[in-house]
Structure 1
Amino acid sequence: MKTSGVYLSGLCCEEAPYLFDQTDILTFMLRETQAGEVLQRHLKILYRASGIRRRGSFLPDFGMLQPAFFSTRPPIDARMQRYFEAVLPVAKQAAIRSLAQSGLETQDITHLITVSCTGMAAPGLDLQLMKTLALPAHTQRTAVHFMGCYAAFHAWRLAKAIAQQSPRHRVLIVDAEFCSLHFTPSTEPDHLLANALFADGVAACVVSACPGHAQAELLNFQSLYLPQGEDDMAWHIGQDSFLMRLSTYVPKLVESGIPALLQLYDKHSQANIEHWAIHPGGKRILQAVEKALGLPPAALAVSYEVLRNYGNMSSVTIFFVLQQLLQKQARGYCWAAGFGPGLTLESALLRLL
């Protein structure tokens, strides 16, 4: 039995426990990279132009003269162990809040989708949440891993397909990113840029065919692959950490592709968009979207606000943008978009309720 509408409810976003001003993180980076005079000037310009005021981390190191975890260059297994130690309590809290706001008990959940581009193991976050939340043993699980900043869109799309299969299905999504875990004191341009942008956070929501407690209706999804950007944004597992490749050409690629992505939606949908939830991958990316779509300055105000107050939390960030829109009483059609390795553009059309 297929149902008509599919809804998102219980959207909960959790900041990382340690919050740092961008200027304090700059001081840390100058010290850890042992920057000479030229690099110091470059980093100061980069951080001033980032559009970020503060960022959160699951580690206290970025505010310490003698970093605790990064006192040595920790290997990948130590970083993965720290991921689960730090993330699980916050992910559990987000899930519990999401269930409560959706009017659900743990036994109501039929499917669990976990999302992370920064931490992996087997058993992983999905089974750890199963255990700590006491979800039913027959809960069906899916892990969306290593897809980059657009991974949440895949989780939403999958959850919608599951919810359409039966009105009894209740899908819990938990997204947990620990980007700062992969700090490396490299002076490579890609690493310097990543170190200036990325932060940590957790989010959760429930997707179902039940309109009760609904905050948004999931309407449609579209995707666009730009193979010419394959070398401009990538995410690899290195010897010590996950390594980001992020070139300064990415905003130009986004600018060239985003109109075509929007045009994949029918003209009625395009004409009725009232709100824009654009992943704030960086200030230049938001400026590229504004320019390409001819948007007024106020259209992406929420995305700029999230970038300023939280930084780029990879796949979690779009949840924060959506939450801010809902808190501002935004209603009606909303177009969300995110960008990641490939280069891939992902999008969703929602109706905010």
Structure 2
Amino acid sequence: MPAPSLKITGFGIAYPPNSVPAADLDKIAYKYYEPSPALNKEGVALAVSASRLAIAEAGLAVDEITHVVATTCTNSSNPGYDSFLAQELGLRPSVEKVLLHGVGCAGGLAALRLAASLCQSAAWRGEPAHVLLSACEITSSMLRDELKIIDRDQQVRLGITLFGDGAASLVLSLDPGDIDPANKFPKGIYELVNWEHITVPDTHSDLRIDVTSTGFKPTLSARIPALTAPCTPLLYEALLKTLPNKSAHSTLPSDPTDFDWAVHPGGAAILAGIQTAMRLEKEHMKASWEVYENHGNTSSVSVLHVLDTMRRDPGREWVMSAAFGPGVAAEGCLLRRAL
């Protein structure tokens, strides 16, 4: 059977209303000294807000959502925050939910990869699919442990200066025309064409987040930019081979500069390294730099925010997206703007 058409039809982004200056880090850190249900309290509210925006833009009612794929690296409760999110949104009890954990900054694209697989499964069964993807992170919960280590070891640790809190959602829909040719879906925002996953061997100690008695502890080695940059050409080459033979809109791209690039803003050195590795100009990654400069690294949330930012300005038809998480794991997606 032909590959189903998968379309991103809505986005939603939410951030806390206040910005915390460096002078207030100590006060915020002590807020998280005792175990705190920060994500289930503060985070779920952000996830609900972002999800409602995405569902509304997709033109769907909440009872039309068929699946939820959620991701976070800053909560380990059972039930997971996806259950609280579904309850607050009023989703049907029969909605299929999956919660991803342990994928960190790669979570946004890993969740998109899973959402695509769920849509493909629905197409095989001849059923509709509208997957709500939610990424939510309260990375400020890392501050207590980070400051404790800084005080103990008297060493500079940059992790706490990179991260921010936030949530992002999108709706990935199976085009109903794949089930009923008379029922065609609106053009959407992006068409998800394909995806790729790579794990770099022997890198578990380079990028990780552990749970300690005082919260979440991030470990970011100095090797990360050197590990992530070489992954990007591998993702690109694999995805380039999956371009359709014919494009209804324009000549097919054949060079990295023919794409817009939605790269997870893990840090300035990571973005600069990928820009160099792929021989790109800064304008190819404009949305990534913009999100990083305004919101820092919000882990799984960031790359989804980059995609949402990118679609708001005219650009190239084809988009390459990449994100990197613990493992080191690299996720890539090939998308096409709906023109």
Bin for the TM-score computed over the shorter chain: 0.7 to 0.9
Match of 1:126?
82
Equivalent of 1:271, from 254, 274, 280? 254
Tell me: CA distance 1:91–1:190, structure 2 relative to 1, closer, same or farther (3 Å).
farther
- Structure 1 residue 238 displacement after superposition: 1.4
Distance in 2 between residues matched to 1:171 and 1:319, nearest whole Å: 15
Distance in 1 between residues matched to 2:158 and 2:266, nearest whole Å: 11
Distance in 1 between residues matched to 2:94 and 2:31, nearest whole Å: 42
Equivalent of 2:223, from 239, 249, 260? 249
Distance in 2 between residues matched to 1:275 and 1:266, nearest whole Å: 13
**Is the contact made by 1:233 and 1:246 (CA closer than 8 Å) also made in structure 2?**
yes
Distance in 2 between residues matched to 1:343 and 1:280, nearest whole Å: 15
**Greater Cα shift, 254-263 or 102-111:** 254-263
Q: Given residue 74 of structure 1, which amino acid in structure 2 is its aligned partner? A: Y
Match of 2:293?
308
Question: Does 2:168 align with 1:203?
Answer: yes
- Structure 1 residue 228 displacement after superposition: 3.7
Match of 1:93?
49
**Unpaired runs of 5+ in structure 2?**
176-184, 244-252
Match of 1:321?
306
Which digits, 9 at most, give the CA deviation of each residue in 1:173-194, with x for residues without a partner? 1111111112121216998211
- Structure 1 residue 72 displacement after superposition: 6.4
**Is the contact made by 2:275 and 2:282 (CA closer than 8 Å) also made in structure 1?**
yes
Distance in 2 between residues matched to 1:71 and 1:265, nearest whole Å: 45
**Is the contact made by 2:142 and 2:218 (CA closer than 8 Å) also made in structure 1?**
no
Distance in 1 between residues matched to 2:99 and 2:55, nearest whole Å: 19
Tell me: CA distance 1:137–1:3, structure 2 relative to 1, closer, same or farther (3 Å).
farther
Q: Identity over the aligned pairs, expressed in percent?
A: 27
TM-score w.r.t. length of structure 2: 0.85
Distance in 2 between residues matched to 1:143 and 1:125, nearest whole Å: 8
- Structure 1 residue 73 displacement after superposition: 5.9
- Structure 1 residue 346 displacement after superposition: 1.0
**Unpaired runs of 5+ in structure 1?**
33-66
Distance in 1 between residues matched to 2:289 and 2:132, nearest whole Å: 28
Match of 2:132?
172
Tell me: CA distance 1:262–1:2, structure 2 relative to 1, closer, same or farther (3 Å).
closer
Distance in 2 between residues matched to 1:204 and 1:319, nearest whole Å: 7
Distance in 1 between residues matched to 2:213 and 2:279, nearest whole Å: 43
Tell me: CA distance 1:142–1:72, structure 2 relative to 1, closer, same or farther (3 Å).
closer
Which digits, 9 at most, give the CA deviation of each residue in 1:139-184, with x for residues without a partner? 1110011211001112111111111223511111111111111212
Distance in 2 between residues matched to 1:217 and 1:190, nearest whole Å: 46
- Structure 1 residue 255 displacement after superposition: 2.2
Distance in 2 between residues matched to 1:73 and 1:15, nearest whole Å: 19
Match of 1:7?
7
- 1:153 aligned counterpart, secondary structure: helix
4+ aligned runs moved over 6 Å, structure 1: none
Match of 1:294?
279
Question: Does 2:193 align with 1:219?
Answer: yes
Distance in 2 between residues matched to 1:133 and 1:275, nearest whole Å: 33
**Is the contact made by 2:38 and 2:138 (CA closer than 8 Å) also made in structure 1?**
no
Q: Given residue 197 of structure 2, which amino acid in structure 1 is its aligned partner? A: S
**Is the contact made by 1:190 and 1:244 (CA closer than 8 Å) also made in structure 2?**
no
Question: Does 2:211 align with 1:237?
Answer: yes
Map 1:16-31 to 2 at 5 A. Answer: 16-20=16-20, 24-25=21-22, 27-28=23-24
- 2:74 aligned counterpart, secondary structure: coil
Q: Indicate the RMSD between aligned Cα atoms, in angstroms.
A: 2.1
Distance in 1 between residues matched to 2:310 and 2:154, nearest whole Å: 34
Question: Does 2:92 align with 1:136?
Answer: yes
Tell me: CA distance 1:242–1:307, structure 2 relative to 1, closer, same or farther (3 Å).
same
TM-score w.r.t. length of structure 1: 0.82
**Is the contact made by 1:118 and 1:146 (CA closer than 8 Å) also made in structure 2?**
no
- Structure 1 residue 9 displacement after superposition: 1.3
- Structure 1 residue 232 displacement after superposition: 1.4
Tell me: CA distance 1:274–1:121, structure 2 relative to 1, closer, same or farther (3 Å).
same
Tell me: CA distance 1:232–1:3, structure 2 relative to 1, closer, same or farther (3 Å).
closer
